[in-house]
Amino acid sequence: MLKDITNIDVTNIKVTIHKKEHKKILYSWLNDVSREFSYHHITFLTSILILEKYTDKYVYLLSDYQLIGISSLYIAAKIEETKTKPIEAYAKVTDETFSKEQIHKMEMQILDYLNYDINSILPGTLFKNFDVIEMLRKNNVSLTNESKLHLLTAIIVDFCLSKKIKFTEIMCKSLANLQQNLNNKQISSNIKMIIRENYELIKFFNIKANA
CATH superfamily of 14-116: Cyclin-like (1.10.472.10)
Question: Which residues, in sequence order, are CB contacts of 58 under 8 Å at separation 6+?
Answer: 113
Separation of alpha carbons 111 and 113, rounded Å: 5
* CB 108, CB 90: distance < 8 Å: no
Domain ranges of the chain: 14-116, 122-210
Bridge partner list, 14: 7
Show pLDDT as tens, one digit a residue, over the chain (211 residues): 343 434 444 333 334 444 447 888 899 999 999 999 999 999 999 999 899 888 877 777 878 899 999 999 999 999 999 999 999 999 999 988 999 999 999 999 999 988 888 877 777 776 766 677 677 677 667 788 888 888 888 888 888 887 666 666 777 778 778 878 888 888 888 888 899 889 999 988 887 655 5
Q: What pTM was estimated for this model as a whole?
A: 0.80
Separation of alpha carbons 136 and 149, rounded Å: 8
Strands 13-16, 5-8: parallel, antiparallel or unpaired by DSSP?
antiparallel
Positive or negative: CA dihedral 72, 79, 53, 155:
positive
